[in-house]
Amino acid sequence: MRIYQLVQNIRSGYRPNLDEIEELLRAEGPELSHIFQAADEINRQYNGNLVHIRGIIEFSNYCRARCAYCGLNAENRELKRYRMEPDEIIEVAKEAVDAGYRTIVLQSGEDLWYTREKISYIIRRIKALGDVAITLSVGERDFEDYRKWREDGADRFLLKHETINPKIYKSLHPHSTLRNRILCLKKLKELGYQTGSGFMIGLPGQTLRDIARDILFLNNLKVDMAGIGPFIPHRGTVLKDAPAGSSEITLKTVAVSRLILKTTHLPATTALRTIDGTGAERAFRAGANVIMLKLEPYKYRRLYEIYPKPLGPEKSIREEREEMVRFLQSIGKEVAQDRGDSLRLTERQ
Ligand code: SAM
């Protein structure tokens, strides 16, 4: 009975505490079904029945960071590295805009070869293609870089906090600190970026209590977007033998996040879709409202191996988007036609 009442209270604006969020994350059976249903209803109430399809260009797999979970980490000597030339990135973005994309996500390892000026050039050229939003996801950089790129027209920035548990964060990131990551997120918000964060499910040592704290952190930061996906072990990392995160807990976390965060954009993450063939559909029934599709040529996709994932047969950018549109329609979703800016943005104005 308690869970039903709690869900009702949250829907009416009550802010749950840590114990209560953990209780929601422990729900099973009919109570869990009720949480999924409520998350779906809240999503429809705030975001409509819409899914935003974003295009992502993973433009470099060079990385100076040493994240213990990530196949791109600087210590993985087995990985063949690549960098796309700025004009090559712009070409891909153009093809994507022509195919109907209204958001281009530019993601890479932390690669300083892309100087402030190079990224500025890429942003300005992509913005000139039309009414298209740019999301950057290039990790921790100098605040002056963040400032300049915002001035150049970058709209959004994704920087996951990965885990809010300081001990786990420290054990996984020998090169940086949780404090700095949070400072970056605050700076990005201050600069007016629509700011996304997020975390992984199933990191070694992580408990449901930690996950509850992660959700509260997102809520306190008032994030515009949040990526929540399972950890997947990569053979080229020290965590190669650790078990993958659970898709069930990931879905529960997405649903509970939707109950609490209301308008925040929540993707059906690629990691979830990788470990669970029906992950996308399940996430869209549990409150997710965004999906990202890769845009870079396949020769690069093979090498952007954060974690192992299968690559389907080669298709064009347009074909892949159309296939996704058909899939979304087949599960009763509508495809958003606008840029899908943060709903918090309208609240802020
Ligand atoms: N370098 C940028 C950064 O750190 O924000 C963007 C690229 S980084 C590879 C993108 C995301 O990949 C990270 O935020 C992390 O959550 C996710 N990731 C990395 N390794 C992963 C793994 N083994 N399993 C699941 N997600 C992983």
CA of 205 to the centre of ligand 1 (A): 18
In tens, the pLDDT along 125-171 reads: 999 999 999 999 999 999 999 999 999 999 999 999 999 999 999 99
Number of H helices, E strands in the chain: 15, 8
CA of 204 to the centre of ligand 1 (A): 16
Distance CA 193, CA 131 (A): 17
User: Does a structural domain hold residue 183?
Assistant: yes
User: Does a structural domain hold residue 229?
Assistant: yes
* Alpha-carbon distance values, 99 to 95, 96, 322 (Å): 6, 5, 9
Report which protein residue has its CA nearest ligand 1's atom 25.
231
CA of 162 to the centre of ligand 1 (A): 8
Distance CA 190, CA 226 (A): 18
Residue to mutate, 69, 73, 76, 306, ligand 1, most ligand atoms under 8 Å from C-beta: 306
Q: How confident is the model at residue 88 (pLDDT cuts 50, 70, 90)?
A: very high
Distance CA 65, CA 102 (A): 30
What is the arithmetic mean of pLDDT over 41-57? 97
For the cut 60, the answer to whether the pLDDT of residue 349 exceeds it is: no
Atom of ligand 1 nearest to the CA of 109: 1
Identify residue 110 by its one-letter amino acid code.
E
For the cut 70, the answer to whether the pLDDT of residue 202 exceeds it is: yes
User: Does a structural domain hold residue 347?
Assistant: no
For the cut 90, the answer to whether the pLDDT of residue 185 exceeds it is: yes
User: Does a structural domain hold residue 290?
Assistant: yes
The secondary structure of residue 130, as a DSSP letter, is S
Residue 223: domain span: 2-339
pLDDT at res. 344:
82
Report which protein residue has its CA nearest ligand 1's atom 13.
160
CA of 301 to the centre of ligand 1 (A): 15
Distance CA 97, CA 101 (A): 5
For the cut 70, the answer to whether the pLDDT of residue 348 exceeds it is: no
For the cut 70, the answer to whether the pLDDT of residue 222 exceeds it is: yes
Q: How confident is the model at residue 1 (pLDDT cuts 50, 70, 90)?
A: low
CA of 138 to the centre of ligand 1 (A): 10
User: Does a structural domain hold residue 186?
Assistant: yes
User: Does a structural domain hold residue 303?
Assistant: yes
Identify residue 296 by its one-letter amino acid code.
E
- Strand partners for 199: 162, 228
Locus of tokens 């399940």? 282
* Token pair for 270: 């690629």
The end-to-end CA distance of the chain, in Å, is: 40
CA of 45 to the centre of ligand 1 (A): 31
* Token pair for 125: 């050229």
What is the arithmetic mean of pLDDT over 207-221? 98
* Token pair for 262: 């209301």
- The fraction of the chain above a pLDDT of 70, given in percent, is 99
* Ligand 1 surroundings by CB, under 6 angstroms: 69-70, 72, 107, 109-110, 137-139, 159-160, 162, 200, 229, 231-232, 234, 271, 306-307
Q: How confident is the model at residue 267 (pLDDT cuts 50, 70, 90)?
A: very high
The whole-chain average pLDDT of the chain stands at 97
Q: Which residues of 160-189 are buried (b: 16+ CB within 10 A; e: fewer)?
A: bbbbbbeebbeebbeebebeebbebbeebb
CATH number of residue 111's parent domain = 3.20.20.70
Q: How confident is the model at residue 346 (pLDDT cuts 50, 70, 90)?
A: low
Report which protein residue has its CA nearest ligand 1's atom 3.
139
Distance CA 97, CA 250 (A): 31
What is the arithmetic mean of pLDDT over 182-205? 98
pTM over 0.85: yes
For the cut 70, the answer to whether the pLDDT of residue 347 exceeds it is: no
User: Does a structural domain hold residue 171?
Assistant: yes
For the cut 80, the answer to whether the pLDDT of residue 100 exceeds it is: yes
C-beta of residue 42 within 8 angstroms of C-beta of residue 259: yes
Q: Please, which residues have CB within 8 angstroms of residue 295's CB and are 6 or more apart in sequence?
A: 55, 56, 57, 92, 93, 95, 96, 101, 104, 317
Q: How confident is the model at residue 191 (pLDDT cuts 50, 70, 90)?
A: very high
For the cut 80, the answer to whether the pLDDT of residue 56 exceeds it is: yes
User: Does a structural domain hold residue 344?
Assistant: no
Report the number of distinct structural domains present in the chain: 1
